[in-house]
Every structure is written in structure tokens, then in C-alpha cells.
Amino acid sequence: MSVMDIFETMDYGPAPEAASPALAWLKEHQPFNLFINNQWVQPASGQYLDSVNPANGKVLTQVASANSADVDAAVAAASAAFEKWGKTPGHVRARYLYALARQIQKHSRLLAVLEALDNGKSIRETRDIDIPLVARHFYYHAGWAQLMASELPGYQPLGVVGQIIPWNFPLLMLAWKIAPAIAMGNTVVLKPARYTPLTALKFAEIVQESGLPPGVINILTGEASQVGEALVRHPGIKKIAFTGSTDVGRSIRRATAGSGKKLSLELGGKSPFIVFDDADLDSVVEGVVDAIWFNQGQVCCAGSRLLVQENIADRLLSKLLIRMERLRVGDPLDKAIDIGAIVSSTQLQEIQRLVARGVEEGAQVWQPSWACPTDGYFFPPTLFTNVSPASTIAQVEIFGPVLVAMTFRTPAEAVELANNTRYGLAASVWSDNINLALDIAPKIKAGSVWVNCTNLFDASSGFGGYRESGFGREGGKEGLYEYVRHAWEAQLASPSGYTPTGRAANGASSSSFTDSLLAGIDDELDGLSAPETIELPAIDRTSKLFIAGKQARPDSGYSRTVYDPAGQAIGEVGDGNRKDLRNAVEAAHKASGWATGTTHNRAQILYYMAENLSVREDEFARRIVQQTGRSHVDAMSEVQTVISRLFSYAAWTDKFEGGVHRPPLRGVVLAMPEAIGVIGIACPDDYPLLGFISLVAPAIAMGNTIVVIPSQIAPLSATDSYQVFETSDLPAGVVNIVTGERDALSQVLAEHDDVDAMWYFGTAEGSKRVELASAGNMKRTWVNYGHTRNWLDSVQGEGQEFLRAATQVKNIWVPYGE
Ligand code: NDP
């Protein structure tokens, strides 16, 4: 082609990256074995799997197919390594992470080419985005290893962590998982995705080169049914970190229920890309390219739903069609292509199926005039218009380069459309009016919101979902808590027994436990007069349920008798059922304005509750004595602790702040802790008032509205609290109380699709049932696995752990500059 021709067409020439160094590396190592204890070990099955280049369908190499025997061996190696690694000083761990980051940079080109070959993504993206972010992740977490002792005092690593990663960002997901885990002192067994194991194997070689102690990082290639499931079920594993599809995430939630394994799930999405009429449309077009055609659209947070203000829709769509025509699909190793290959034929067929479905459902499909290469798994950039919000393509994650466009008229309608999804991973908002953009961002139910930008990631800024996009955060300080626990958690007592009449099975009520906890406090309370005999009120009324700010009769028409420790009836409470819970959840939703009101207002109401309770502290103490048989002094100290706790959460209301992250970007990332929504809470049996308020207060302090099941054996302290709530100006529906059988009611709440999180403090079996039932809408759970914490203690019974459980962090990215 002459220079003249080039000027005529202004077409790109080929700019291929050489594959030869990566192919030579593959040849030298094949077949690849498993990486256990810093050794390359043959798989127990003796079997190997092909790894295929999706750009041409050719086999690149063979990797070992591990099975459960290999999982056992890797977990044993990681457990042995944990003994030492968990106690290795933070500075030493930091140096290892730093060494890994350095080695990744040294091998960056090889890693970039391997990733492009194995996954089909373009070399431009692997070279400029994936691999630099991988190195950054290790550097950033080297810093947290260094600072762990000072910044996370009282926390310790969990042990062996099982990590399961997907194929869309193979090495980046490995870094997101491994870096925080080992920085916090855990050891790791990681399973790469079946389609994309190669960069993980190169990383294993880097681990060896960096001199990490054997067993700290173990990598098992193989199939989900062999390796993934065995990891999830392995009793030696203390936490599972998973990224992948919502369906598999749900099955992992079920498989780990009740096991006590920590779990973080980063799942699918159907993220909105919202364009207001004052946005700069040329920037928007480039934003759309990055949102949905980056990584062939195989991005969990891809902006796959384009929501455009109606008056600019035609203009934007015509610009977009012109841009689509100019996109280039082709060989991932060509530096001048925009879109590479789809990872596998299965994924390609799935995209084709969903696109055909869109056409069947009546949407209008747009694709460029040119054809994709046919020797690999390619799919052209695709746009759908005339899409109904309820249609399959508007609701289902397509995980390919397919965008669906819809229009809205007002900001409120934009928010409604944006939130019309079961997912909640990310969103991007385009407007030149910063006031509007920052007003919209908090209203969108998503873990990351990008303002006038999209698909930005950094180790410093947590990433993770709301709703069926999963729970837990990766990155930032918030991501570290996924890999640690309080040192005292290891010593938590097992549950006291429980019988339906309300007495502890050992016949001792909770007094021996309580007595020892209260020993110190008794001295302080010596001055208080403590009547030895308590006058019991006659059973003159049944405490009703408390729903929408009103006392409500239970739907069942039944009551439950409450007994004192001697077996004497002391009162009755309503026997709540599914219908009462449904009304309570509805009331809690209607009170959602609680979250958007000022923190000052919420703090005032909590202080007011403390004040109103203190006026009646003797009455509340007597009620505790009556239900538990504890001394009046004990009971008074419980009430005093409750008053102090209400003060604490009133104080925290406007002090539990987010942060401003510092990624390498001209801009800010605002990390805002937000209310989760409606939380279901099942209270512990010990400490009828303190157990109740210790959970209610942080939940409402952070703006949640709640449905609470009080202690089943001693519910009267909670039902007495109605009057305190009513006299403290707590808006109707913020706290709803349903008494009854704790485990049955918890199950209903855990299954309820409109409950966003469930806290459960009861038995081990009940904890398991709550975790199992929560898998329906992937709600966040916080359960005690039957362990009893010391509610009187200010470390175990209150503080930031509770506030973190009551919030989810949203990261709002706001770049600036001309
Ligand atoms: P999966 O969720 O099946 O795979 C993700 C990872 O989990 C892989 O390592 C996989 O292993 C492993 N895995 C699969 N099943 C189990 C199991 N039962 N127990 C333990 N581990 C398991 O995703 P797919 O690869 O099948 O992709 C399907 C869809 O998932 C995509 O179309 C997309 O919608 C979504 N997805 C979302 C991602 C995200 O980032 N949120 C990433 C990838 C996919 P193996 O590879 O061996 O099957």
C-alpha cells in the first residue's frame, strides 16, 4: 500500500505484538503441574486439560486437572505454612509483597501477552490496564501488611483461605484475592478459571522466584466440579473468596451455610450508564466504548444499560452508531484493535442466544456493517434500542459486547430505571452539572458510582456489590476486614442451651455467665439500693407487636406466655407469624426516609431514647430481674450499660465517616458508608434489654430501618421499649418488633426478598438456617454460629464492628480537570 493510499483511507495497518516469547515459555513448561508448597506437583488424577486460544481455537498448552486429593494436599501445605506466616511480622510480609510487585513488573510484557493469548482480550488492555493494576495491588497491600499492627489493632488473620476466580480478568482477580489475604497473614489455595489458568501459573513461578515461604500460596488448576467444590467444602478452609456468576455464588452461600467460613462474593451485574441532557456527548460516546466494549463486555460492572434523557437520545445514538462502525474487532495481539475474542465458544453461544432473544422480544438491533473474523470466537459491538425495561436483555447479564438503550425524562425516573435490577454492582452518571451527578450517585443502589467516567479501578478503592451482586469489598481498607477477625473471637463461648419455656437447659439460667461478667461492675453499683424481693405485676395485658409505630395484634390471634426462672408466668406477648413480618417489612420500607434525613437528627433521637430510658431505669431493671432472676444490681448495671450504649451510637451517628481515597488519578474517590436498607435482627437470649439495644442502636444509627425479633425467652424488655421509642420521636416504621418463635421468624426474614440483611444471634443450627435461607436474594448475613459474646464488654458488645455490619461502602469516583 502506498503512502498516498494510506492518506486516502486513513486505515490502521497491523501492529502485531510478538507471541513468540510467551509461546516459548509455554513450550518450556508444558504440561503444567499443580503449585503446592512451592513445588510443581503432578495431579493425583494424572489428567491434564487443554488451554485454548479463543482468537483461533488452537490449543496453547495443557494444565493439570486437580481433584479433591490435591485440594487436601494444598490445604495441608497452606495450614502448615500458616503456623509461621500468620505470626510473621508485618514488615517482613510487606517485603514479600513488595518483591512480588517488583517481579510482576519485571515480567509484565510476558504476563500481558500470555493473558491476551489465553483470554482473548486485547494486548492494549492487558499491557496498559490489567498488569499495571496487578502490580499496584501488590504494592498497595504491601503497605497494609506493614501497617496492620498499628491500623488494625486486635485483629488477626483467619488461616487458610480458598479463592476462586473467573476468567474475565484472570491475573487481576488473582491479585485482588491474594494480595490482601497474604498481607493480613493468611495463606492461600487459589483456583483459576478453567478457561484462563496461564497467568496464574506464571505468577506461581514468580512466587518461587520471590522466595515466599512454601505453602503460603498454592495454585490448583482444574475444573469447578473437582477443585472448586472441594475447596468450598473443605473443613480446613476458614474463608472463601469468590468472583463469578450469581448462580454459583448462591450455591457457594448454601454450601458454606453454618460452617463458620467467612464469605465474600463478587457476582454479576447489569450496571446502568446514565446520561443527562447536559452531558458532553462526545465524552459520553467514548465512555460508552469503555463501559461496554472494554474487555469484550465481559466485565461484571460493564455499563450494559444505557439510560439516556429522552431529549438527547437520538443525537447520542446517532453518534454512537458512527463510533461503532469505526471500532475494530480482531486479533488480540494486534495493538490497533479495540475488541478481542470472546473467551470461549460456550460464552459466544450464550451471547448469540441472548441477542436472538432480544430480537424475538421486539427490540431493534444495531451492529456495524463489517464482519468479524471467523477463525476464533468473535462477536461485534451490538446496540439494542426500543427495549422494554422488563425484557430479558434489559434484565439478564449478557456478559458480552451488547448494550441496551432506554430513555428517561426526569432524574427521578432515571434513578428508578437504574435501580430496576436485582443487581447492584456499579453505575456511571454523566452530567456537566456536578450537583445533579452527586445528588444521583447516593440514590443508586450500587457499590461503585463513576461520575463522568467509567470502569475505573484501583487498589485503594473498595469494589463490591449491593443486592445480588454479592457482598464484601475488595480493595481499600474496607477490603482488609474480609481477611481478619478479632483476636477474642477465637475464645468465644459456646451457646448456653435453650428450651422453649425460656430457661437455659442447664437449669442455671444465664446467671453464672452473667455473674462473672458483672463482678467488676458490682463494685461501682454498691451504692444502689437493691430490693431483694420483686413485686410481680399481675398478668393483666399481652404486649402486642410494634409495627409502623403502632401496637398491633398478632395476625395469628395467639399469645405466648413468658415465664420467670422459677417457671411462673409473668406476662404474655403476641405470637408473630409470616403475615406480621410481611407487614413489618413493608412498614420498614415505608420509613426509608430515615436514611436520607440528617445524621444530627438521628443522633438526637438516640440521645433522647437514652434520656427517656434513664427516667425509667428502675422499672426496666425490675423487668430484667423478673425475667432472668438476676440481682437488681446486675439488672441496673445492664440498664446503665444500655444507656451508655445509646449514647455511644448517638455519638457515632455523625462520626462514622467515610473517606477520600487516593488512587493515582486527578480526582477524588469518595468512600461513603451507606445504610444497607431493611435489616432483620434476631436478638440473643442473654441480656434481654442490652442484647436488644446493642443491635437495634447501631442499625438505626446508620440509617437502616429494622424488623426485630426480641429474645424468645425474655421478650418483655423489648416490648416495654415501645413506650421509649414513642416518646423519643422515633419515626413510625424505623423499628418494628415482632415477638414469637425466634428461629421460625428468622427463617421468614432471611427468605424475604425485601429484607436486605439479616443479623442472627441464636443457636448454631439457627445460624446455618439463616445463611441457607439468605441465598435467595443474596442478602448479607451476620450470625453468631451459636457463640455467646460478652455483651457488657465495650469491645465485644459495641463499636465499629457493629457499624460496619450496618453499612455498605459506596465508592463515588469524581475525576476533575479541564
Ligand atoms: P462461573 O461463576 O461458573 O465461574 C467462576 C469461577 O467459579 C470459575 O473458577 C469456575 O471454575 C468456578 N466455579 C464454577 N462452579 C463452581 C462451584 N460450584 N463451586 C466452586 N467453584 C465453581 O462463571 P462462568 O465461567 O461459567 O461464566 C458464566 C457467567 O457468569 C458469565 O456469562 C457471566 O454472566 C458470569 N460471570 C461473572 C463474572 C464476574 O466478574 N462477576 C466473571 C465470570 C463470569 P471453572 O472455570 O473451572 O468452571
CA distance 810 to 89: 32
Tell me the three cell numbers of residue 180.
490482601
Per-residue pLDDT of 280-298, as tens digits, reads 999 999 999 999 999 999 9
Task: Tell me the Cα Rg of the chain.
Answer: 29
The pLDDT value recorded for residue 339 is 98
Task: Select which of 17, 115, 229, 266 is catalytic.
Answer: 266
Q: Which residue of 177, 233, 248, 271 sits with most ligand 1 atoms within 8 Å of its CB, as the best mutation to test the pocket?
A: 248
Q: Which atom of ligand 1 is nearest to the CA of 192?
A: 9
Mean pLDDT confidence for 507-528: 38
Percent of the chain with pLDDT over 90: 91
Per-residue pLDDT of 324-360, as tens digits, reads 999 999 999 999 999 999 999 999 999 999 999 999 9
Per-residue pLDDT of 680-711, as tens digits, reads 999 999 999 999 999 999 999 999 999 999 99
Per-residue pLDDT of 362-390, as tens digits, reads 999 999 999 999 999 999 999 999 999 99
pLDDT bin (cut points 50, 70, 90) of residue 530 is very low
Tell me the three cell numbers of residue 600.
444530627
The pLDDT value recorded for residue 542 is 77
Burial of 153 (0-12, 13-18, 19+ CB in 10 A): exposed
* Through-space distance between the first and last CA atoms of the chain, rounded to whole angstroms: 40
The partner residues of 405 in beta bridges, in order of sequence, read 306
Spacing, Cα 163 to ligand 1 middle (Å): 12
The pLDDT value recorded for residue 6 is 80
Nearest CA to ligand 1 atom 12: 224
Answer yes or no: 266 catalytic: yes
Burial of 449 (0-12, 13-18, 19+ CB in 10 A): buried
To which H or E segment does residue 63 belong? strand 58-64
To which H or E segment does residue 48 belong? strand 48-53
CB 477 within 8 A of CB 152: no
CB 65 within 8 A of CB 48: yes
Spacing, Cα 517 to ligand 1 middle (Å): 47
CB 337 within 8 A of CB 353: no
Cβ < 6 A, ligand 1 pocket: 164-168, 191, 193-194, 223-224, 228-229, 232, 243-245, 248, 251-252, 266-268, 300, 347, 350, 397, 399
Cis peptide before 31 (omega within 30 of 0): yes
Count other Cβ atoms within 10 Å, centred on residue 440: 22
To which H or E segment does residue 161 belong? strand 160-164
CA dihedral 288, 291, 292, 296 (to 10 degrees): 130
Answer yes or no: 300 catalytic: yes
Backbone angles phi, psi at 577, to 5 degrees: -140, -175
Per-residue pLDDT of 711-747, as tens digits, reads 999 999 999 999 999 999 999 999 999 999 999 999 9
Mean pLDDT confidence for 487-502: 60
Mean pLDDT confidence for 91-95: 97
What are the start-end ranges of the E strands in 208-251? 217-219, 239-243
Pairing, β 364-366 against β 382-385: antiparallel
CB 296 within 8 A of CB 400: yes
Per-residue pLDDT of 139-187, as tens digits, reads 999 999 999 999 999 999 999 999 999 999 999 999 999 999 999 999 9
CB 615 within 8 A of CB 729: no
Q: Which atom of ligand 1 is nearest to the CA of 269?
A: 41
Q: SS3 sequence, 674-702?
A: EECCEEEEECCCCCCCHHHHHHHHHHHHC
Please work out, in degrees rounded to the nearest 5, the angle formed at the alpha carbon of residue 407 by the alpha carbons of 401 and 408.
135
Pairing, β 262-266 against β 470-471: antiparallel
Per-residue pLDDT of 256-276, as tens digits, reads 999 999 999 999 999 999 999
- In DSSP notation, 214-255 reads TTSEEE--S-IIIIIHHHHH-TT--EEEEES-HHHHHHHHHH
Mean pLDDT confidence for 38-52: 98
CA distance 293 to 380: 9
Spacing, Cα 498 to ligand 1 middle (Å): 41
The pLDDT value recorded for residue 7 is 82
CB 241 within 8 A of CB 174: no
Q: Which atom of ligand 1 is nearest to the CA of 398?
A: 34
Q: Which atom of ligand 1 is nearest to the CA of 251?
A: 18
Burial of 451 (0-12, 13-18, 19+ CB in 10 A): buried
The pLDDT value recorded for residue 8 is 83
Spacing, Cα 166 to ligand 1 middle (Å): 5
The pLDDT value recorded for residue 494 is 58
The pLDDT value recorded for residue 5 is 81
The pLDDT value recorded for residue 517 is 33
Task: Select which of 300, 301, 372, 453 is catalytic.
Answer: 300
Nearest to 486 by CA among 85, 79, 158: 158
Mean pLDDT of the chain: 93
Could you give the angle at which helices 170-183 and 108-119 cross, rounded to 10 degrees?
Answer: 130
CA dihedral 420, 424, 426, 431 (to 10 degrees): 30
Spacing, Cα 393 to ligand 1 middle (Å): 20
